Amino acid sequence: MNQERYLVVVSGPSGAGKDTVVRRLRQEHPEIEFSVSATTRAMRPGEQDGVDYHYMSPAEFERRIASGEILEYTRYCGNYYGTPKSEVDRRIAAGRTVVLVIEVEGAANIKRIYPGATTVFIRPPSIEELEHRLRSRGTETEDGIRRRLARAAEELRLAGGYDAQVVNDTVEGCAQELYEAICARQA
């Protein structure tokens, strides 16, 4: 249980700016480690295998679920996403802070497995701003945008169950609030 406080789960709707905030947190606090998830979704331009995700086929993902290598997983907008056990256990046992950036179902599953984990929800300033960010990112089709917005509304309803919520008004401010939420639980 004591080791679980080193585990931090960050969720927030697609387009809320989670990745940018988390990137900022990494720059400011290089001692914090990040779990690299497995996924079956296609690699986006600029992403790297083993850095952004471990990319794999649905058959390989299912093989890993069956062999117990995946701690938690979900299907999100038609693809599998999951946390490899190897990304987490060894690091929290060594007392290193590990951040998982995952969606709400995965976050609830992690909290069931590790009740002492810290959960933080990143909110966009508004739904309109979320839609604007998703569109200007230019990585999704119209259908993908609609699915992500529908999913965002569901995720925002669950934000109250997180240990802390932070609003991504500015990347810098949000990264600082996220850091404070992590430190508050480990003190």
Taking the least distance from each CB to ligand 5GP, the nearer of 106 and 177 is 106
Residue 132's contacts (CB-CB under 8 Å, 6 or more residues apart) are none
Element (H, E) at 144: helix 142-157
- Asked if 99 is part of the footprint of ligand 5GP (rule: CB under 6 A), the reply reads no
For 43-108, give the DSSP string: PPTT--BTTTBEE--HHHHHHHHHTT-EEEEEEETTEEEEEEGGGTHHHHHTT--EEEE--HHHHH
Question: 17 or 106, CB closer to ligand 5GP?
Answer: 106
Contact 81, 102 (CB under 8 A): yes
Contact by Cβ (8 Å): 130, 122: no
Candidate ranges 56-64, 77-85, 127-135, 164-172; the one touching ligand 5GP (CB under 6 A): 77-85
For 158, which DSSP code? T
Q: Determine, following the binding rule CB under 6 A, whether residue 122 of this chain makes contact with ligand 5GP.
A: no
Which range, of 59-67, 68-76, 123-131, 161-169, touches ligand 5GP by CB under 6 A? 68-76
Q: Which is nearer to ligand 5GP, 6 or 61 (CB)?
A: 61
- The answer to whether 124 contacts ligand 5GP (rule: CB under 6 A) is no
Q: Quick check: 41 binds ligand 5GP (CB under 6 A)?
A: yes
Binding segment for ligand 5GP (CB under 6 A), chosen from 79-87, 111-119, 123-131, 165-173, is: 79-87
Q: Is 103 in the site for ligand 5GP (CB under 6 A)?
A: yes
* Member of 22, 24, 82, 162 binding ligand 5GP (CB under 6 A): 82
Say if CB 33 and CB 96 are below 8 A apart.
Answer: yes
First to last CA, the chain: 15
The site for ligand 5GP (CB under 6 A) is made up of 14, 37, 41, 72-74, 76, 81-83, 101-103, 105-106
